[in-house]
Chain A
Amino acid sequence: MTTLLSVEDLEISIGNGRPVRGVSLRVGPGEIVGVVGETGCGKTLTGLAVLGLLPPGAHASGRVVLGGRDLLGQDRRAIRGREVTMVFQNPGTAFDPVTTIGGQFVRVLRAHTGCTRKAAYARAAELLTSVELPDRVLNAYPHQLSGGMLQRCMIALALSCEPSLVIADEATTALDVTVARQILRLLLQLQREHGFGVMFVTHNLAEARDICDRVYVLYAGRVVEEGTASAVLDGPRHPYTRALLGALPRLDAPRGRLDSIPGSVTHADQGCSFADRCTDVRDLCRTELPAARDGVACHFPGGAA
């Protein structure tokens, strides 16, 4: 299997904190790979590290290999927007508020292709058509458009230079459910047409199950489970994945009960980070960090056996 992006043993430290502690993942060409986990587990930072957009003061080590080149520590400006693009979480704030949508497309297109302003506008109109938006959106300012329209614009912008990898960082989180569905369908459809790989960062397991080929479950800066979307999400082996799935609200469940995982993400210095919140915790879990075996990092996968 060929590899488009491979992240190997990525560690990110910010000050004294180490929010990402050795994440390894792989995205094949044209593959949709989910990176799931709750807030604070390091999924967004992992995505930003690929583009070299970590916040000031953050330090990354390990390897980020794209198309055979190790990117970490390199200037990645030339590949941003051209080979790898990102669709952000909040479409409402992700666009420059004082520039028209068209102006923002032109800026990006001209930075990468050096084409004329007129050609860039024509290309921008074409891109908007591909995300089912009318040309007049080009002359609109971001505050005049809805979140769904803006996210379509974002996707169109992401595709402007035919990237090989699109990182979708919680791309549907800020949208309401029906709009989120439309955006997902659009992303899938465009992915089939253009064949780019997708790193789909989300906390929404239902979405991950629907569109991903494979998923990585992150907890406290480590991959705790990986595998095909159906294997992981239909037959979870790590207790964290099970708990996450259990926390999904279900229409067929008895009324009045909503499950959650007690506590919040903590980084253990010793042993398994999930130990404090795990229902099947044993003594071994508190002293020894479980290594990944068969795609699951747990001493006792599959629950109390």
Chain B
Amino acid sequence: MTRFLLRRAATSALVLLGVMLATFLLARVVPASPAVAYIGPKAQPADIARVERELGLDQPLHIQFWRYLSDMLTGDWGDSIGTKQPVLQEIGTRLPATLELLIVAMVVAVAVGLVLGVIAARRKGTKLDHLIRLLSIGGVSMPAFWLGLLLQVVFVRALGLLPPTGRLGPETPFVSPITELTGLYTVDALLTGNMTAFGDAFLHILLPAATLAAYPAGVVARMTRATMIETLSQDHVRTARAYGLAERTVTWRIALRNALPPVTTVFGLTLAYSLTGTFFVEVVFNWPGLGQFAAQALLNVDYPAIMGVTVLGAVGYVLVNLVVDLIQARLDPRVGLA
């Protein structure tokens, strides 16, 4: 276990180094000079040269990279060109919103995907199975920004059931302000017993979370269906039935338990996709998180911000995959940590 973690830490560090090199080079290769973006469109050649010197852009590439690397490691991620604030601080204030959205969406995706997949497998070939397949294909193939707009049109504009955008309604911060503990509004409101704010935050997160959950839910449902059909036909499931176990136990406790390892693997892979998905979802729902920040940074050629978010995303992805591997070993005793 310790050896496994050490080895994984080493490979992860290599992956992160690669990602940082790639983002660094990308920022240097793109023709728009960061100095120009920094000063503004009316920059004079003399100013550009001065700023380039200040930002160290006149140094050779390897020195620039070394400086970039050591700055990143010591917590200096540079200042955002757009907001003139330290990138790390910008990320810190927006991360909780994104985390909340991601966590809720992923929990929903796994729960819905597993249940639909199991039902489809049990009812293989029926109308219900076809309906679920249609839903999961829809979830996988529908672009997030379009699904988000569609949901807004239906639930906000037409039915008027849910609030349009943002994390909270306009009055909530004044009527029943949330004491920030974790930065996840729903959690904070629950912890402090602020039920008005919880209700408001909950209603606000429904649509963006559903939009973000559609893709992974579809993937999980399809994978669950396929592996469940396979496990339900295995010898040991017949043994369980032959020994009088209830069909409910056979399906949910034995077959689903056996189907989990491959489902976990594909779910881990879709997480990377969902990370990018937050970009669109946050813009569509005006969700004040990292995705929105990154989208703005991209439009403003805000290199420090783009690089910061990219590196953070890479760290997140590496961590998630480490967790997936650990879960995998937990779920299947035949899988060793090597």
| In the bound complex, CA of A79 to CA of B254 (Å) | 20
B286 within 8 A of A: no
CB-based contact A86/B333 at 8 Å:
no
Which residues on the B side are within 8 Å of A94 (C-beta)? 235-236, 238-239
Given A93-B236, A97-B236, A98-B332, A108–B254 Cβ distance below 8 Å? no
Q: Mark B235-261, 1 if CB is under 8 A from A, else 0.
A: 110111111111101000110011000
Q: Is A51 an interface residue (CB 8 A)?
A: yes
* A-chain residues with CB within 8 Å of residue B235 when the two chains form the complex: 88, 90, 93-94
Interface residues on B, range: 20 to 34
CB-defined contacts of A95 to chain B, threshold 8 Å: 236, 239
Bound form: Cα–Cα A80–B333 in Å = 28
Contact of A80 among B236, B241, B249, B257 (CB under 8 A): B241
Contact of A93 with B234 in the complex, beta carbons under 8 Å: yes
Q: Which residues of A contact B258 (CB under 8 A)?
A: 96-98
B242 contacts A98, CB within 8 Å?
Answer: no
Q: How far is the CB of A164 from chain B (nearest CB, A)?
A: 14
- Distance between Cα atoms of A80 and B241 in the complex (Å): 8
Q: Contact at B244–A53, with CB atoms within 8 Å?
A: no
Determine if A78 and B257 form an interchain contact, defined as CB atoms under 8 angstroms apart. Answer: no
Q: Is the CB of B331 within 8 A of A98?
A: yes
A112 within 8 A of B: yes
Task: Give the residues in chain B near A111, CB-CB below 8 Å.
Answer: 243-246, 249
- Residues in B neighbouring A59, C-beta threshold 8 A: none
Q: Which residues of A contact B243 (CB under 8 A)?
A: 80-81, 85, 108, 111, 157
Nearest CB in chain B: distance from A253 CB, A? 36
Cα-based distance from A79 to B247 in the complex (angstroms): 14
Q: How does the 8 Å CB contact mask read for B107-148 relative to A, with 1 for contact and 0 for none?
A: 000000000000000000000000000000000000000000
Mostly, the B contact residues are helix
A42 to B334, CA, bound (A): 35
Q: State how many residues of chain A have any CB contact under 8 Å with chain B.
A: 26
Closest A residue to B253 by beta carbon equals A107
Give residues 73-103 of A contacting B (CB, 8 Å): 77-82, 85-86, 88, 90, 93-99
A85 touches B242 (CB 8 A): yes
Are the C-beta atoms of B239 and A82 separated by less than 8 Å? no
The smallest C-beta distance from A107 to any residue of chain B, in angstroms, reads 6
Nearest-neighbour CB distance to chain A for B23, whole angstroms, equals 41
Residue of chain A at shortest CB distance from B330: A98
Return chain A residues, CB-CB under 8 Å to B238: 53, 88, 94
Residues of B close to A93: CB separation below 8 A: 234-236
Does A69 lie at the interface of the complex (its beta carbon under 8 Å from any beta carbon of B)?
no
Q: Kindly list chain B residues whose C-beta atoms are within 8 Å of the C-beta of A194.
A: none
- In this assembly, does A300 line the interface, its C-beta being within 8 Å of a C-beta of chain B? no
Which residues of chain A have C-beta atoms less than 8 A from B332's C-beta? 97-98
Out of B240, B241, B244, B247, which one reaches A96, CB within 8 Å?
B240
- B234 contacts across to A, CB distance below 8 A: 93
Find the A residue at minimum CB distance from B260.
A98
> Which chain A residues border B254 with CB–CB below 8 Å?
96, 99
In the complex the two chains form, is A86's CB within 8 Å of B242's CB? yes
- Inter-chain CA distance A258–B247, complex, in Å, is 47
Q: Quick check: A82 and B244 within 8 Å, CB to CB?
A: yes
**In the complex, chain A residues whose CB is within 8 Å of the CB of B334:** 97, 141, 143
Q: How far is the CB of A57 from chain B (nearest CB, A)?
A: 11
What chain B residues lie within 8 Å of A51 (beta carbons)?
242
For residue B247, give the distance in angstroms from its CB to the closest CB of chain A. Answer: 8
Measured between alpha carbons, how far is A261 from B331 in the docked complex, in Å? Answer: 48
- Most chain B CB within 10 A, of A51, A85, A98, A108, is at A98
**A154 nearest CB neighbor, chain B only:** B239
CB <8 Å contact, B244 and A81: yes
A107 x B244 contact (CB < 8 A): no
List of B residues within 8 angstroms of A79 by Cβ: 244
Closest to A105 in B: B243
Q: What residues on A are CB-neighbors of B331 within 8 Å?
A: 98
Give the complex CA separation of A82 and B242 in angstroms.
10
Residue of B nearest to A167 (CB): B242
**Closest CB-CB distance, A287 to chain B, in whole Å?**
40
A88 contacts B245, CB within 8 Å? no
- A140 → B minimal CB distance (Å): 9
| A291 nearest CB across to chain B (Å) | 34
**What 0/1 pattern do residues 213 to 244 of B give for CB contact below 8 A with A?**
00000000000000000000011101111111
Which residues 164-198 of B sit at the A interface, judged by CB distance below 8 A?
none
Chain A contacts of B241 at CB under 8 A? Answer: 53, 80
Residue of B nearest to A107 (CB): B245
Q: Most chain-A CB neighbours within 10 Å: which of B244, B245, B246, B257?
A: B244
A157: chain B residues at CB < 8 Å are 243
User: A90: shortest Cβ distance to chain B, in Å?
Assistant: 6
Q: Which residue of B lies closest to A84 (CB)?
A: B242
> B245 contacts which chain A residues (CB < 8 A)?
81, 107-108, 111
State the Cβ distance, A98 to closest chain B Cβ, in Å: 6
Interface centre among A78, A80, A85, A141, by most chain B C-beta atoms within 10 angstroms, is A80
Q: A96-B258, A98-B331, A108-B245 are in contact. List 15 more A-B contacts (CB 8 A).
A: A53-B241, A53-B242, A81-B242, A85-B243, A93-B235, A94-B235, A96-B240, A96-B254, A98-B258, A98-B332, A107-B240, A111-B243, A111-B245, A141-B334, A143-B333
A contact set with B: CB distance below 8 Å? 51, 53, 77-82, 85-86, 88, 90, 93-99, 107-108, 111-112, 141, 143, 157
Can you sample 21 A-B contacts with CB below 8 Å?
A53-B241, A77-B244, A81-B243, A85-B242, A85-B243, A86-B239, A90-B235, A94-B235, A94-B236, A96-B236, A97-B236, A97-B332, A98-B332, A107-B245, A107-B253, A108-B243, A111-B244, A111-B245, A111-B246, A141-B333, A143-B334
List of 3 A-B pairs having minimum Cβ-Cβ separation, nearest first: A81-B244, A81-B243, A80-B244
